[in-house]
Amino acid sequence: MTETHTMCPFCDNEITIMDGSIKRAVMLMAQTGGKALVACPNCCHVLPLDNIPTTGDADLIEWIAQYDIKEAKSWLPSIPLLDPMHAKMPNGFVEHLNVRFWTTGDNTIAITALDYILKYGIDPALAWARMGHT
Rounded to whole angstroms, how far apart are CA atoms 124 and 118? 11
pLDDT over 90 percentage in the chain: 12
Would 18 be classed as within a structural domain? yes
What local confidence, expressed as pLDDT, does residue 66 receive?
63
Total domain count, the chain: 2
Residue range 46-104, pLDDT digits in tens = 888 777 777 767 777 776 666 555 544 443 444 444 555 556 788 899 999 999 999 98
Would 13 be classed as within a structural domain? yes
Say how many C-beta atoms besides its own lie within 10 A of residue 75's C-beta. 14
Same domain as 7, residue 67: yes
Would 27 be classed as within a structural domain? yes
pLDDT of 112 strictly over 90:
yes
Core vs surface per residue 93-115: b (16+ CB within 10 A) or e: beeeeeebbbbbeeeeebbebee
Rounded to whole angstroms, how far apart are CA atoms 33 and 13? 27
Would 41 be classed as within a structural domain? yes
H helix or E strand, kind and range, residue 119: helix 113-120
Same domain as 50, residue 90: no
What local confidence, expressed as pLDDT, does residue 26 receive?
86
Domain boundary among 34, 49, 72: 72
Rounded to whole angstroms, how far apart are CA atoms 51 and 35? 9
Same domain as 57, residue 9: yes
Distance of CA 133 to the CA centre of its chain: 19
Same domain as 95, residue 54: no
Q: Are 90 and 116 in contact (CB under 8 A)?
A: yes
Would 114 be classed as within a structural domain? yes
**Domain boundaries, position 59:** 3-72
Q: Average pLDDT over the chain, rounded to whole?
A: 78
Per DSSP, the three-state class of 41 is: coil
Does residue 9 or residue 72 have the better pLDDT?
Answer: 9
